[in-house]
Chain A
């Protein structure tokens, strides 16, 4: 049967999926940082997480220093910070409330349990030694939601928007994790800098990719290989490559099964991004600057989201001339620059 999907619902399910994925990934990023903070050089690098989210202004308006305690609180339990885990979970729950007619009761209950857990975190749980357990719990709560969704969510157009949200966010978060750690671990040195093997293990583990990586590369763990794995591997569930393929599958399904042609514009942008990714080796990317390449991907993902909003969520198209910077696909000139 043909069940029409309200534009507003499509948008809510998209952001519901993104919020849960974001909460899970934030937990992963904080967890890997917690691991890093115990390395032998004693460097903490909590500031990098603030930079990663471009939150310097909001953070330093509240805190004088990027201490472990401040950063953890800011990203875990600070409801005023829109990029915190508690905000992501709240956002997911509010979207789910609107979506109650669509989502299964079990999905709704799981979000409620997660939310109630988040707002009852006590300060002791943020202390070193306890934090890791809490972050694991949050990660698992999100995974439980994902599993419940997999097992109970009705497979119609809404399911496509759920996948769009989940995989766009996951691609974005994988690039953030990589960007942060790559910068810290290689700064002031070339790719041949002495390797903090343990730390690269942690990067992979935070993305749940360590063993998968080992299956591909049984020896030679290099920063370039880790970066390549997270960006280009076609089989790893958190790689940018795989996420974009899933985004494409969802778009194709909307078009072929539900005859929704308004997504053509989005699909076109996605094709471009996939082509750009497919045409590069990791050496080329690193030579052109990994951070710049990642920034480029992130801007593309933002542009794809904006085009989705126009195509499906009933938003007005962006005004002419706004196709610059964050509002549109990056100018072609930029992508050719990477090629060189």
Chain B
């Protein structure tokens, strides 16, 4: 381990977020001048402060701990002004297209009639909600809060990996991480020209007011959470506080005459806008899963009558589906008549003959994914698969090509990360957050997740992922 933090750091041939950008020189020099031992000591202090906040790290193995968080890595990930401008434009474009797509799917369905997306892909999708057909959504903003997962490939090109248009989480970590850096490493940030991120709560609150039912001048907004045992409860608290609105659970709400009320000490009180952090399925036992204990009976009646606004709208899951993802570049062109600013990871849609042939010819080089599955199930990683696995994959592809897409293996970019044994390159991704009411606003930066295990590409917290503060310069 080096005496100074970056001594001997080697990105091992990957695209390094810290070393490749010339705009990072100042931070790089500052990091390089910090003795490793000092840095570690300050990290410990930062962790103690978070521990006192009830935030438990893996190092404290309390089996009863219900406050879980991504482990925090104190070496920030930096985006230059130019890089950020590119991402911001791309995210805004993508969110705009997602909302246009949803508005179309729940009204005229032109895109299906024009054959841009196969109709069965949408209409047969379990996330498509026929009850939303014809319902007016204010500003046609279905996806009010959107998190778009972006990776950077070996050439440094940003690419969208996934759209999260349902109830994306993680924004509280963005802001907590910044607060931790401000507390523990003020000297790193000093004078570096960092864009602020304290606006998120205000922007979110403003968007919630904009989507309130028509004629509602001073709407009562609430945040609906599944409760303290939800892994994102910490974030629900954070967002409710940032907006200054009540954090409610299903049992605090009641529907009467197709209107929503919350139970207060002064009796029932009208609710106009609900930022819900509960999936569609669990929102209303009358309309969706009857076994849901988390939802509010009758909520959908109130919603369909236009008496309450929900963020995000019902039925957004059809737009961020893996199957639809592959069509997003075409969706953008169809509605906006523009080239996509942010590229997809190159994706071959196997229901299309040419793509199927391309995939079958290069099975040993590609990642083949079923479109219906979530969480990495059923994926075949060509370069790592055995002969038998490739044969099995080939058979499945031929039997049901529509169920598969294929993508090249991508070398994710890396960032220097403090792990046991010193500072090593670890793979990172980026989830910027966009808020949409009457228009779209993107929080500068976003959540940088880092795969803490050596060689791992998986940044999810359940799989040994952590997070970094994300700095946007200029």
Contact = CB atoms under 8 A, between A and B. Distances in A.
Contacts of B247: 100-101
Contact of A4 (B51, B228, B246): B246
Interface residues of A, number: 28
B262 A6 contact: yes
Contacts of A259: 266
A312 B265 contact: yes
Interface string A119-158: 0000000000000000000000000000000000000010
B343 interface: no
B252 interface: yes
Contacts of A109: 52-54
A254 B51 CA distance: 36
B53 A112 contact: yes
Interface in B237-273: 237, 240-241, 246-249, 251-252, 262-267, 269
Q: Chain A interface mostly helix, strand, loop or mixed?
A: helix
A257 B252 CA distance: 24
Nearest to B271: A4
A225 interface: no
Contacts of B240: 101
The 3 closest A-B pairs by CB, nearest first: A100-B237, A101-B247, A4-B264
Contacts of B52: 109, 112-113, 116
A7 B241 contact: no
Contacts of B237: 100-101
A101 B223 CA distance: 11
Contact of A8 (B220, B233, B251): B251
Contacts of B54: 97, 108-109, 112
A258 interface: yes
Contacts of A258: 266
Interface string B19-56: 00000000000000000000000000000000111100
28 contacts: A4-B246, A4-B262, A4-B266, A4-B269, A6-B246, A6-B263, A6-B264, A6-B265, A7-B252, A7-B265, A8-B252, A8-B263, A98-B228, A101-B237, A101-B241, A101-B247, A108-B53, A109-B52, A112-B52, A112-B53, A112-B54, A116-B51, A116-B52, A254-B265, A260-B266, A262-B266, A312-B265, A314-B263
A10 interface: yes
Contacts of B220: 4
A91 B267 CA distance: 26
Interface in A240-263: 254, 258-260, 262
A105 interface: yes
A148 to B, nearest CB: 13
A252 B283 CA distance: 39
A5 interface: yes
B265 A97 contact: no
Nearest to B242: A101
B242 to A, nearest CB: 10
B60 to A, nearest CB: 9
A145 B252 CA distance: 28
Contacts of A254: 265
* Residue from A4, A5, A10, A254 whose CB has the most chain B CB atoms within 10 Å: A4
Nearest to A312: B265
A7 B249 CA distance: 12
Contacts of A313: 265
Nearest to B251: A8
Contacts of B267: 262
Contacts of B262: 4, 6
